[in-house]
């Protein structure tokens, strides 16, 4: 197994901690499957395989035990769980519901531990940088904690400070996760269609961006510029002169959090209007600009006077290309008009070139459309629709691209928030005008001309490149270097079996040589001890061969 060759000694303590936590919460079989236990035991870190979860933990359902294990493992695994909660195409609903409970809220670290980084950044004491600074954080998460402060001009700000010492631990976790993903793809061919290596690569990039608080500052600034003329939404201002990768200083939005619904109603807010405006803002982000706040849960929404909406925490944003937006609109149009071929085409474009049972997929698409037959878009609950599509994709072994999983999650969260404000709220009611706008824009003379020019340019590029490509092909033929790549199923597994067999043969030959050589040496006076050593080595080699055969099951 790959873990047997995993030689990053510096990660062994963390690997031992991960394995121990997984075993404690009843995931020992998972640790065994990944080969983590045997590698740690050979490294001298014996795992207590007989350790079982307490009766209280053992009685919990598997999704609950998984969530508890992730929480115990810290920031990297909490963020991984939150990412998995967006993968409605991979995870069953019960697991999604449990992973959604993962909270990044953790006890804050002592201010003295973060103060040194702040003083080093500014080059002077905090009291000289800010007119006032509350050393007790009012919010703390796994990546950063937030303090209230006041600038010398009287402006109220919040100061987000990254927790010290996070990067080293997160780097170790990411290396371990990357090896785990490679192992899954290498040892379990059925896991390859879910692209664990690609998923962990995406997760690694997203987490590193979240660690850099300057990235969030750039997101905020982009949204401020984009919605500067929109009076219904408020984006905080960033104070760049105070910012760094470990510090983010932005305007404090003073209002009522969307988590405090009773206070919102008591303050006289128009909750129906708030739900409509929130949907309008998010749908404009998604369908018009293709750049959206990917985590619009109540904790990131603040209601301001005059029924305005403030958005905070832009650590996670989504980006949709124009093609993705067009596909989304095509899916909704196909749903409304019961167009099986169009819906099937969108799903195939989303999931890429994979080996699937297309007739089964077409049958499932027909069943889905039958469920929504004769319904108007305004009568469709987006959450139910997206969950049905996700179930269809999951049942057919397909995988959604990362940008669409973020979109699905954002839309489901948005509809849930709207229904908290107004029980009669339907996101699809707000969706109608945006779909009409995008559909109309698709067939304007300017859009048709642009697509025509693009098609002509691409066709000309193909035609112009034919002589060059043909000449290159003929050169390869003349040089005898023409190569045809064949992807034969199970060829990798066959190669691995050959490697293991050759290793056993080599060890067997070496063992036989040691026995013969030691027998000869034992007849020579003064060298009998060396012969004895040879017999011991031969015996150990024999044990290795026998154990290897026994473990393989063949």
pLDDT, residue 3, reads: 45
Does the structural domain 107-140+143-168+192-252 have CATH classification 3.90.180? no
* 3-class SS string, 120-159: HHHCCCHHHHCCEECCCCCEECCCEEEEEEECCCCCEEEE
Report the pLDDT value the prediction gives residue 48, as an integer from 0 to 100: 53
CA atoms of 247 and 217, how far apart (whole Å)? 10
pLDDT along the chain (554 residues), means of 10: 48 79 79 59 49 64 88 87 81 85 75 84 89 90 90 94 86 87 78 80 87 93 92 94 92 93 93 93 90 87 95 89 85 80 85 73 87 71 83 81 81 88 85 76 69 70 75 75 59 60 72 75 71 77 70 55
The phi and psi torsions of 533 (rounded to 5 degrees) equal -60, -40
pTM: 0.71
> 385 near 426, Cβ under 8 Å?
no
The two three-digit tokens of residue 335, written as one number: 């749903």
Q: What is the pLDDT of residue 220?
A: 95
Predicted local distance difference test score (pLDDT) of residue 435: 76
Q: What is the pLDDT of residue 303?
A: 96
- Nearest Cα neighbor of 162 from 83, 244, 78 is 244
Dihedral angle over CA of 455, 461, 466, 468, nearest 10:
-170
Alpha helices in 165-238 (DSSP H): 166-187, 196-211, 213-226
Q: What is the pLDDT of residue 93?
A: 82
Reading the block at residue 418, the tokens are 């709207």
pLDDT of residue 474: 77
Bridge partners, residue 486, by sequence = none
CB 65 within 8 A of CB 25: yes
Instruction: Return the pLDDT at 52.
Output: 45
396 to 89, 360, 362, 363: CA distances (angstroms): 10, 8, 10, 11
pLDDT of 457 = 74
**CA dist 159 → 135, 214, 233, 513 (Å):** 10, 13, 22, 71
Q: Cβ distance 16 to 40 under 8 Å?
A: yes
Q: Which residues contact 90 (CB under 8 A, 6 or more apart)?
A: 84, 194, 394, 399
Amino acid 214: pLDDT: 94
From the DSSP assignment, how many helices (H) and strands (E) are in the chain? 23, 11
């Amino acid at each position: 197994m790959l873990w047997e060759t995993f030689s990053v000694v510096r990660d062994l303590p963390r690997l031992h901690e991960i394995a121990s936590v997984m075993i404690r919460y009843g995931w020992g079989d998972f640790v065994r499957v990944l080969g983590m236990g045997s590698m740690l035991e050979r490294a001298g870190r014996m795992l207590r395989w007989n350790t079982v979860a307490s009766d209280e933990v053992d009685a919990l359902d598997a999704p609950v035990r998984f969530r508890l294990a992730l929480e115990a493992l810290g920031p990297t695994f909490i963020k991984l769980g939150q990412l998995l909660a967006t993968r409605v195409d991979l995870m069953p609903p019960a697991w999604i519901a449990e992973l959604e409970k993962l909270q990044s809220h953790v006890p804050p670290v002592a201010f003295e531990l973060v103060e040194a980084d702040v003083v080093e950044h500014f080059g002077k004491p905090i009291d000289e940088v800010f007119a006032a600074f509350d050393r007790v954080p009012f919010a703390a998460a796994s990546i950063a904690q937030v303090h209230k402060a006041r600038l010398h001009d009287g402006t109220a700000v919040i100061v987000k400070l990254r927790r010290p010492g996070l990067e080293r631990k997160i780097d170790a976790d990411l290396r371990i996760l990357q090896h785990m993903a490679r192992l899954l793809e290498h040892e379990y061919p059925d896991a390859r269609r879910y692209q664990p290596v690609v998923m962990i690569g995406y997760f690694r990039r997203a987490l590193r961006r979240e660690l850099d608080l300057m990235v969030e500052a750039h997101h905020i600034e982009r949204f401020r510029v984009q919605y500067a003329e929109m009076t219904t939404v408020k984006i905080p201002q960033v104070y760049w002169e105070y910012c760094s990768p470990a510090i983010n200083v932005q305007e404090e939005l003073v209002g009522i959090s969307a988590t405090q619904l009773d206070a919102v109603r008591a303050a006289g807010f128009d909750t129906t209007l708030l739900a409509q405006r929130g949907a309008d803002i998010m749908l404009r982000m998604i369908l018009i600009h293709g750049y959206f706040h990917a985590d619009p849960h109540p904790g990131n929404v603040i209601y301001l006077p005059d029924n305005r909406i403030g958005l905070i925490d832009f650590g996670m944003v989504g980006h949709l290309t124009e093609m993705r937006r067009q596909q989304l609109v095509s899916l909704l149009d196909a749903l409304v008009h019961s167009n099986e071929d169009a819906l099937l085409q969108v799903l195939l474009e989303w999931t890429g070139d994979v080996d699937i049972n297309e007739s089964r997929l077409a049958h499932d698409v027909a069943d889905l459309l039958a469920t929504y037959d004769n319904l108007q878009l305004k009568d469709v609950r987006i959450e139910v629709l997206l969950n049905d599509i996700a179930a269809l994709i999951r049942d057919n072994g397909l995988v959604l691209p990362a940008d669409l999983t973020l979109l699905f999650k954002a839309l489901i969260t948005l509809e849930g928030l709207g229904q908290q404000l107004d029980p009669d709220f339907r996101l699809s009611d707000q969706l109608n005008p945006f779909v009409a706008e995008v559909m109309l824009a698709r067939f304007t003379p300017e859009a048709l001309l642009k697509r025509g020019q693009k098609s002509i340019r691409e066709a000309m590029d193909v035609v112009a490149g034919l002589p060059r490509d043909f000449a290159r092909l003929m050169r390869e033929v003349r040089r005898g270097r023409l190569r045809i790549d064949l992807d034969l199923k199970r060829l990798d597994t066959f190669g691995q079996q050959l490697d293991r067999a050759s290793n056993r043969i080599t060890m067997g030959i070496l063992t036989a040589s040691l026995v013969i050589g030691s027998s000869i040496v034992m007849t020579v006076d003064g060298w009998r001890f060396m012969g004895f050593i040879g017999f011991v080595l031969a015996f150990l080699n024999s044990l290795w061969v026998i154990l290897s055969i026994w473990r393989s099951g063949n």
